[in-house]
């Protein structure tokens, strides 16, 4: 059976907004806004290619069958691997689960560091704030926020939509900018720490990319559910007009999100 038109269209990622990059963003270790743009474009090309090929085998898009947290991890890992290709001043940390993800070039033997203070930690997330990590620590954190379908969407009648980057923010955080989240003895949830409002404010001031269509209303969005950008559920005809997003003079980002990273 041929795939629905919406599913076919969703295989091609949404392009970056041509006026969405902040030339005044401050990024350490010689990384530039242009480097980040190239890495983001590379990911969009990668996912478009992969999802198109999956479609030729009548298989779902990558984001349509992976667990949400796993897909977020792929976004972050790809950006961590791609950025050093375009920036000659940083390298990928080759230590398994080493911290941070990117290291200043030439500072560590074999570019391997179990835990260092210098470098850039990278995360991919569907959420607009309250980003999570495994430890409360000082670090320069860069988050690539995106919108994409989830594995559960098809069963819930959510319309297929293309992957798109929503925003990229980054800043130097301290331990005081994190909140450690423990767990009960009965819980099997991975222990995490979340970025507090103080850290969020630092990162939003130093925003690197914003999809301006989403910042100032768009016909492609109908509502925001639990802080995650979504399009209308399956329907015929054009999408309804979006509810107001952030005011045009609002520089604090889009909308808050719940803390779960899944």
Question: Can you give the residue ranges of every domain in the chain?
Answer: 5-213
| pLDDT value at 220 more than 50 | no
What does the alpha-carbon distance between residue 38 and residue 234 come to, in Å, rounded to a whole number?
Answer: 34
The stretch 144-148 carries a mean pLDDT of 96
pLDDT for 256: 39
pLDDT for 216: 65
The stretch 212-225 carries a mean pLDDT of 57
CA 104, chain centre distance (Å): 23
| 166-170, 210-214, 236-240: least confidently modelled range | 236-240
CA 182, chain centre distance (Å): 24
Phi, psi of 85 (to 5 degrees): -70, -30
Domain 5-213 grouped into CATH 3.40.600 = yes
pLDDT for 133: 79
* Residue 16 DSSP one-character state: P
Residue spans of alpha helices (H) in the chain: 5-10, 33-56, 62-65, 68-86, 197-205, 212-215
Confidence of residue 186 (pLDDT cuts 50, 70, 90): low
pLDDT for 236: 34
The overall average pLDDT reported for the chain is: 83
pLDDT for 2: 67
Q: Please enumerate in sequence order all residues whose Cβ is within 8 A of that of 30, keeping only pairs 6 or more positions apart, or say none.
A: 87, 88, 89, 90
Confidence of residue 259 (pLDDT cuts 50, 70, 90): very low
Residue % of the chain over a pLDDT of 70: 78
Q: Render pLDDT for 75-124 as a digit per residue (tens, 0 to 9).
A: 999 999 999 999 999 999 999 999 999 999 999 999 999 999 999 999 99
| pLDDT value at 253 more than 50 | no
| pLDDT value at 52 more than 60 | yes
Confidence of residue 43 (pLDDT cuts 50, 70, 90): very high
The model's pTM:
0.82
- DSSP code string of 196-236: -HHHHHHHHHTEEEE-HHHHT--TT--EEETTEEE-PBS-S
Higher-pLDDT residue of 224 and 139 is 139
């Amino acid at each position: 059976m041929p795939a629905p038109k919406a599913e076919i269209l969703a295989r091609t990622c949404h392009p970056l907004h041509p006026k969405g990059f902040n030339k005044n963003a401050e990024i350490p270790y010689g990384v530039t806004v242009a480097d980040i743009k190239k890495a983001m474009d590379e990911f969009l090309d990668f996912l478009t290619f992969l999802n198109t090929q999956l479609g030729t085998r009548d298989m779902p898009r990558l984001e349509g069958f992976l667990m949400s947290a796993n897909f977020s991890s792929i976004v972050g890992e790809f950006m961590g691997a791609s950025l050093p290709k375009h920036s000659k001043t940083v390298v990928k940390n080759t230590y398994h689960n080493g911290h941070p993800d990117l290291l200043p070039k030439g500072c560590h033997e074999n570019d391997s560091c179990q835990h260092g203070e210098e470098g850039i930690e990278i995360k991919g997330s569907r959420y607009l704030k309250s980003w999570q990590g495994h430890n409360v620590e000082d670090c320069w954190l860069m988050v690539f926020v995106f919108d994409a379908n989830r594995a559960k969407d098809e069963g819930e009648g959510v319309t297929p939509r293309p992957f798109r980057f929503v925003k990229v923010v980054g800043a130097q955080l301290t331990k005081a900018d994190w909140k450690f989240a423990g767990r009960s003895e009965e819980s099997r949830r991975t222990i995490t720490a979340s970025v507090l409002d103080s850290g969020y404010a630092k990162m939003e001031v130093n925003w690197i990319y914003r999809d301006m269509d989403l910042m100032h209303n768009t016909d492609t969005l109908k509502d925001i559910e639990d802080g995650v950008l979504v399009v209308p559920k399956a329907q015929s005809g054009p999408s309804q007009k979006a509810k107001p997003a952030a005011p045009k003079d609002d520089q604090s980002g889009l909308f808050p999100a719940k803390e779960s990273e899944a």
